[in-house]
Structure formats: C-alpha cells, structure tokens
Amino acid sequence: MALKFYKPTTSAIRKMSVVDYSSLTKKKPERSLTVKLKKHGGRDNKGHISVRHQGGGAKRKFRIISGLDKKMDIVGKITAIEYDPNRSAFIALVVFSDGAKQYIIAPEALKVGSEVICSEKAEAKIGNRMKLKNIPTGVQIHNIELIPDRGKGQIVRSAGSFAIIMAHSEGEGKRGCYVQVKLPSSEIRLIHEECFASIGQVSNLDHSSVRYAKAGRRRHMGIRPSVRGKAMNPNNHPHGGGEGVNSIGLKYPKTPWGKIAMGKITRNKKYSNKFIIKKRKK
C-alpha cells in the first residue's frame, strides 16, 4: 500500500495525500455484518457536551469485527479486503467452510484467496489465530486478548501496529503461566498464555503518513474545530489573556480546567502494574 498525491490545482490539494486504495477488492460492506451507527456529537444523556470537538461528519455503518474465536478449528477463506471508516486498519471478509461469514482485522500481506484458521495450536502463518503459549518467540502478533476466553482482542489493533513475543515463562505460578509481550509502546508486559492472538502486522502501514491538508477533510471525519487556549480570555482558559501574542506564562501547560496537561504521571496504583515488566519509553 502506498500514498497517492494529486496535481496541485489548489493550495490545499498541493500538500494533500491519501492512501492508495487500489488494492482493496470490495466497495460495499457485507450487509449481514453491518449495524446502524448512531452519532451523539460528543453529548451525554442530558444533551451537554462531555467530549469537545466532536460532531458532524459523513454517515457510517458499523462493521461487526470478530477474531475468528467463534469458529474454532474451521478453515476460512479470505474473499475480500475492505475499507472500514470506523478504524485505521483495513478489514478482511472471511467465509468459512460451513458458509458463515465474519470480518477480521486484516494483517499486512494477507491476500484474497488465503486460508486462515483459529485453533489452540495452528501454523504460525499470517492471519491465523492461536493461543500465546503456542506462538514461537520473535513472531509479530496483533489483536491480542487480555483476559482468557473473552472472545475478542483488545490491544494492538490500529494500522501498522504489532507486538512481539519476547519469552515464555517456565513453570506455573499461582495464576498460571504468562508470556512476555513487547507492545508497540515499547512496554514489556505479561499476558496470560491462554489468551488468543493473531499472527502478523496490522495492515495500512502508510496511515500515519497521510497529510489531511485542509479543514474540510477533518470535518468529514466528525472532528470539529479547536481553539488555542492562548487565544482565549483569562476566564476561559489558564493560557488566556495578555496583549498581542504572548507565551502561556505558566510553568506547565494546563487543560481548560486547570489540570497539568503534559508530563504529569496519571498512572498510580493500578491493578495491572504487576503485569508490567518494563515501562514504555517516555
């Protein structure tokens, strides 16, 4: 997958780039695997804005994504690689030998016609899904479960991301064996060996290199404009006030509600601290 550029007919298009979708095989989603997606514009059940800078955007349908876990030991064939507006990665349509259909997060290099399977112990081939205890060290994985038998992955699902199996623990502890996994953030974490994970790197590697170039593209994505705090009045933001262009005048950047915005450690005594072997690089 590569980036696509346009002739500079306007000042915005001069710098704009999009992902080349020529390798995608299907335009419309599978109707049986889509549901209505209602928008809330960042508002809560009282109609008050609880998340700023959300609203508008193109209408979408939600694609139901599975991790092959519901079809254990049944071979599935990839029939299409599709675009999903609700996520950065591409998705793949799997048709199983019994006729059932499912969407999965498409790993890089997965082709139409490839066969995939979810099994406790399978071949470490791109697209296959298996338990962490049976995946060799050094293999790239994605869409990882955090709780055994949950039935779906929770981490490493965005475009271009992957985790690596670092080591398998020896012997059984009080809560069973764990596998050391290096996450995209560089954090090394213990994950239970009975959790499932998919083999390979998530597709759409060039997603992070896309240049939007104009405000209209962000509005189509449902992102509303944001105003710099230093452009506001003092009663609206801690960075506001002053004549002309000034610095924020504070030791630390702050949120509109006076909290420290950058650099403050927010992870304190969390239950999952015991699973972290090495913290991510700052």
Tens-place pLDDT, residues 140-196: 999 999 999 888 899 999 999 999 999 987 655 555 689 999 999 999 999 999 999
User: Angle at Cα 276 formed by Cα 274 and Cα 280, nearest 5°?
Assistant: 150
Domain layout of the chain by residue ranges: 19-42+54-207, 227-274
pLDDT at 98: 87
Global pTM value: 0.89
pLDDT at 134: 92
pLDDT at 146: 93
pLDDT at 1: 62
**Fold of the domain built from segment(s) 19-42+54-207:** OB fold (Dihydrolipoamide Acetyltransferase, E2P) (2.40.50)
Give every residue of the chain whose pLDDT is below 50, as ranges: none
Q: What number of other Cβ atoms are within 10 A of residue 159's Cβ?
A: 21
What CATH number is given for 227-274 in this structure? 4.10.950.10
Domains 19-42+54-207 and 227-274 alike in fold:
no
Average pLDDT over the chain, rounded to an integer: 91
